[in-house]
Amino acid sequence: MRRPQKAHNGVEAVPKKTTIRDVARAASVGIGTISRVLNSSSQVSRQTRARVLEAIRRLGFRPNAQARRILKRRSEIVCFLLSNRDFLHPFHAHILQGVESYASSLQHHVLFAVLHYSPRTPPEKIDLPPVLQEHGLIDGVILAGTIYPNLLRRIEAIHMPFVAFSNNVVGLDGEQRYDQVGFDDFNGALQATRYLIAQGHRLIDFAGDMSYPWIQRRFDGYRQAMREKKLKPVSIQPQNFDSFVNFGQKSAGRILARPSRPTAVVAGNDETAYGLWLSLRRHGVKVPDEISLVGFDDREEAVLMDPPLSTVRVYKEEIGETCMKMLIERLHHPQMAFSQRILPTEFVVRETVRKL
């Protein structure tokens, strides 16, 4: 039943790799001994080990990891599943980087997969990527991108261990029946707003697209800070915007049109802050001289704005690492209670806030 070296369908055959049996023959030992040397498990005599190692080197033998994985019943491969994103945003790219970094420190591997689905598709109809349809290839999955309840149900149904990046979960308020890692939208905005207040600002607007739950939470943090000081929260809601940047641009017009112009604006995220900045500049309104501005996320671009944007830093790599860490725990303890980690953010003072 040996597979032929030359297939007859025109496709050249995969070259025969040296196997553990070849090495055993070369070193004149049993295959079990090769395996023992490879896994440096039980004791092998010094001489035998040397002979085996030499044979391995001479034959350029690299063990077939797939075979090993079957026996281990664990692949040490996890899937990073990015859902409903047109492309790999820098934000998620950093999370992936964190996942990979922690995974590789544990000799684990990361498979990158993408999924597009509608929140209205019944769970069982969601067309999961092939990795999730088989078993044995991946041990578990890290869910990134936008997560709706139906996807969660589907992943549960196939009994695939998973951890979700929770900030982009939509429509599952407070549900705790799965492992999740996120950062603190509410407190991030709370701190940013408190900072503005501490700098003497009283008229502070919020500009963010609250159709996104995470922006809504940032608004809640902003509102909380305003209420603490008996200040009036004001939310700017322009119409007909087509992106976060555009939302910011349109917000600027609204803000400048108001009878009592604010001295500062909390933006829903850095992109919105950038749009505000662009449009204010166009209108000849200087940041921070006339209007102070803070963002949220601390994208690469924030520090490259002129002046550099004061914003809320999110530790994206740490989110990835924590997701991976939590998934590993879940794999080792399938019955463990679900956990939820909310990582702190940090307000980064740069140059878009003026002291009044």
Partner DNA sequence: CTGAAAGCGCTTACAG
The site for a copy of itself (CB under 8 A) is made up of: 3, 11-12, 14-15, 17, 60, 62-67, 69-70, 73-75, 77, 80, 87-90, 93-94, 96-97, 100-101, 104, 107, 109-114, 129-131, 133-137, 158-159, 245, 274, 278, 281-282, 301, 304, 306, 317, 332-335
| Contact (CB, 8 A) for 269 and 296 | yes
Is the CB of 31 or the CB of 285 nearer to DNA? Answer: 31
Question: Smaller CB distance to DNA: residue 28 or 176?
Answer: 28
Residue 40 or 47: the one with the smaller Cβ distance to a copy of itself is: 40
The C-alpha atoms of residue 217 and residue 53 are separated, in whole angstroms, by: 59
Residue 306 contact, options a copy of itself, DNA, none, Cβ 5-8 Å cut-off depending on partner type:
a copy of itself
Show contacts with DNA in window 69-88 (CB under 7 A): 70-73
CB of 39 to a copy of itself, least distance (A): 13
d(CA 278, CA 8): 64
| Cβ neighbourhood burial of 319 (10 Å; 0-12, 13-18, 19+) | buried
Q: Does 5 bind DNA (CB under 7 A)?
A: no
SS3 15: coil
Containing 44, the helix (H) or strand (E) segment is: none
Asked if 25 touches DNA (CB under 7 A), the answer is no
Q: Residue 350 to residues 216, 220, 267, 291, 305: CA-CA distances in angstroms?
A: 25, 24, 15, 15, 10
Name, in order, each residue with C-beta under 8 angstroms of 279's C-beta and a sequence gap of 6 or more.
Answer: 248, 249, 250, 251, 252, 253
97 binds, among a copy of itself, DNA, none (CB under 5 to 8 A by kind): a copy of itself
Site for DNA contains 160 (CB under 7 A):
no
**Nearest partner of 163 among 142, 149, 185, 146, judged by Cα:** 142
d(C-alpha 214, C-alpha 256), whole Å: 26
The nearer residue to a copy of itself, 84 or 97, going by C-beta atoms, is: 97
Q: How far is the CB of 74 from DNA (least distance, A)?
A: 10
Q: Could you say whether residue 128 binds DNA (CB under 7 A)?
A: no
- Beta carbons of 95 and 319 less than 8 angstroms apart: yes
The single residue among 68, 85, 89, 313 that binds DNA, judged by CB under 7 A, is 68
Shortest Å distance, C-beta 86 to DNA = 35
Question: Given the rule CB under 7 A, which residues bind DNA?
Answer: 1-3, 16-17, 19-21, 28-36, 38-39, 41-45, 47-49, 63-64, 67-68, 70-73, 136
